[in-house]
Chain A
Amino acid sequence: MTTRRSLSPILLLLTQLVVLIAVIATAQKFEPYEINGGLTAAVSGRNFAILASDTRLTDGGYGIKSRRYTSSRLFRVGGGTNGGDGFERAMSGGDIVKCSTSGAMIGCSGCAADCDALRRVLQIEARSHSHSSPTPLTADSIATLLSNVLYSRRSFPFYSFCVVCGLDPVSRTGVVHVYDAIGSHERVAVGCSGTGKEMLQPVLDRLFSSVEVTKEVDGGGAGGVLRRDAGVVSARDQSRGLSLAPPVQTH
């Protein structure tokens, strides 16, 4: 009898404990980042550089926000009128877009809001530079600029994985840099970032990274392969779509 009487207060305490833990456990944590997806890839060659990206914007989960989102996925920095002059309109066409040779193109994936903020910061920096210097920014300078901008936010990073693509103004060879979220970057021959990059990078490495290939491949061929390869990858990664917008820079 004594055991039964002493059981019920313990039971009451236990249920209170469960409720308490449940309340603590369900307290919502503020999650600042949302992964909106995207895959960007770039190939550099003797006299060209190509940047391509997919155009799907996801809601961080299973939903699709847009099938044709390019505004912060792929953008120009530092070239002449700073990305205006019909670049956006040309991008919506879906064919290969040829750009002028100054400045660089940047492909960003990850959190779309952060990519957009990054785009605005970079375009402002480039415009500010054009006010104080007669020579336009080169692709390598933009690469360094992006690294500094990303590291300036070391304590609350831009959740943005970038690829910078441009032409070297002197030697006219392609320049491609790949980044992590806080600005560590490396110049590479071929690079990609975003969802599905682990699947695309080995394919790009195999096709483009040996010397004899860059001799044969011209801009059109590389663009075609890039489009198709990324198309094959998209079947395997649910965060990516099938439509690509590859701009090409040649001289």
Chain B
Amino acid sequence: RHLSQVANQNIIPVAKKTGTTIVGMVYKDGVVLGADTRATAGTEVAEKNCEKIHYLADNIFCCGAGTAADTEKTTDLVSSQLELLRMNTKSQSRIVTACTILKRMLFRYQGQIGAALVLGGCDVNGPHVYQIYPHGSTGKLPYTTMGSGSLAAMSVFETEYRDDMTEDEAVALVKRAILAGIFNDLGSGSNCDTCVIRMDGSKEMTRGAVTPNDVGPLRAMINRGNKLIMPKGSTAVLSSKFVPSIGGVSLADVVVTEMET
């Protein structure tokens, strides 16, 4: 079966950086995660303000790059598993636990699940940030970036990261890194979301921490006139005929398009 898969492809797929910029870093009292908000389907922007920072536990969040459905469902699944584990063990989830569950699942699927994740949070052992690749390899680092904008964001991190930064400095650095991805990478865009998870257990999820691409004021300036505002009844109905479908609509009529974050 594997041979037939290889033979059917005209070219071996080149490793593709997925259209997004996600970052995570450890600072003095916790971790800061950041993500852009563009979801693409090919070259078209499918969603201008999607949410890429997913909830895993009260003390663990996960940024997801790659196939949007995969990151969404994988993080949901692991979030449920962590909750069951918390009931069983009666103790707070650890980041390494989430990392291990994720990597074991992704490796089982041999990279077919296109989820590249930046996992971050605080537990009894301190603040941690992990990077998890679709094939199941992981890395534990003080700061990391993933996605097609990762090079742009990493250049900012490598220039300005220091150990034990304050929260304000860390959040500002994460925002600068994501903005580098937003403006210099075509797969990333729109706004920057940030999530701060502190050692004392508090967290702060900010949707739209920076919104440099807000087209609201520009759109408000456009005087469309009556040409583009069409009231109900603008289109005359010449005749109407209702024909019920025989047999109904089936799943065979559904076309699936993959959307990337």
Contact = CB atoms under 8 A, between A and B. Distances in A.
B6 A62 contact: no
B204 interface: no
Given A195-B43, A206-B228, A235-B48, A62 B222 contact: no
Contact of A18 (B6, B45, B184, B218): B6
Interface in B12-54: 12, 17, 19, 38, 40, 43-45, 48
Contacts of B218: 228, 231-232
A13 to B, nearest CB: 11
A12 to B, nearest CB: 14
A237 B44 contact: yes
Given A25-B9, A228-B221, A235-B213, A62 B17 contact: yes
A25 B40 CA distance: 28
A207 B218 CA distance: 18
Contacts of A29: 11
Interface string A12-30: 0010011001100110010
B187 interface: yes
B185 A235 contact: no
A175 to B, nearest CB: 23
Contacts of A238: 38, 40, 43-45, 186-187, 189
B227 A25 contact: no
B254 interface: no
Contacts of A58: 186
Interface string A51-87: 0000000100111100000000000000000000000
Interface in A82-113: none
A14 B43 contact: no
Nearest to A14: B3
Interface in A209-251: 213, 225, 228-229, 231-232, 235-239
Nearest to B147: A62
A232 B228 contact: no
B71 interface: no
B219 interface: yes
B43 A237 contact: yes
Given A18-B3, A25-B10, A195-B43, A62 B185 contact: yes
A21 B7 contact: yes
B219 A63 contact: no
A58 B186 CA distance: 9
Nearest to A213: B227
A71 B252 CA distance: 49
Interface of A: 14, 17-18, 21-22, 25-26, 29, 58, 61-64, 195, 206-207, 213, 225, 228-229, 231-232, 235-239
9 contacts: A26-B11, A62-B187, A63-B185, A206-B227, A206-B228, A213-B227, A232-B218, A238-B38, A238-B40
- The list of the 7 closest CB pairs from A to B, nearest first, reads A238-B186, A62-B186, A62-B187, A62-B148, A228-B222, A25-B12, A236-B45
Given A22-B6, A195-B43, 13 more contacts: A25-B9, A25-B11, A58-B186, A62-B17, A62-B19, A63-B184, A63-B185, A207-B227, A213-B227, A228-B222, A229-B222, A238-B43, A238-B186
Interface of B: 2-3, 6-7, 9-12, 17, 19, 38, 40, 43-45, 48, 148-149, 184-187, 189, 213, 215, 218-219, 221-222, 227-228
